[in-house]
């Protein structure tokens, strides 16, 4: 379900199916699964579409996006990218982070250096669709 530093941390990557999967930062805070040392690997096959959405429980629905206040939640590496796309709080309760159709690997490393008392809780929704 996740891999880290080229070594499997479990049996297989998270494979996109035609149902939703949720990655919770509380799991990473408690187990280190999905952290930078063992990031989630989402594998999208050809003929599939994936949507990644941030659900931020710390955000207020009426706040506007603000680049100045960015509590870092995770780093997302798309394909073979060396530099991540940073996922952070921006005020919106729900925000689409990435949409892709076709073969692609996406690694997500959730910030795990916070204690559970300091953490802002969030989910990453992985929506998979099989193209007909």
Q: Which fold has domain 3-130?
A: Jelly Rolls (2.60.120)
Q: What is the pTM of this model?
A: 0.79
pLDDT digits (tens, 9 = 90+) for 63-105: 555 555 678 899 999 999 999 999 998 778 999 999 999 999 9
Q: How confident is the model at residue 14 (pLDDT cuts 50, 70, 90)?
A: low
Q: Extract the tokens encoding 117.
A: 């008392």
Domain coordinates in residue numbering, the chain = 3-130
- H or E element: which one contains 104? strand 104-110
């Amino acid at each position: 379900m996740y891999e880290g530093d080229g070594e499997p941390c479990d049996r297989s990557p998270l494979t996109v199916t035609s149902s939703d999967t949720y990655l919770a930062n509380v799991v990473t805070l408690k187990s280190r699964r999905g952290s930078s040392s063992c990031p989630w690997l989402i594998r999208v096959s050809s003929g599939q579409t994936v949507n990644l959405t941030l659900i931020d429980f710390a955000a207020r629905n009426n706040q506007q996006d603000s680049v100045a206040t960015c509590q870092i939640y995770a780093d997302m590496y798309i394909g073979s990218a060396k530099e991540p796309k940073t996922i952070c709080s921006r005020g919106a309760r729900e925000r689409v982070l990435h949409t892709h159709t076709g073969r692609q690997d996406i690694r997500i490393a959730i910030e795990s250096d916070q204690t559970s008392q300091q953490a802002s809780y969030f989910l990453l929704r992985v929506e998979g669709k099989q193209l007909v």
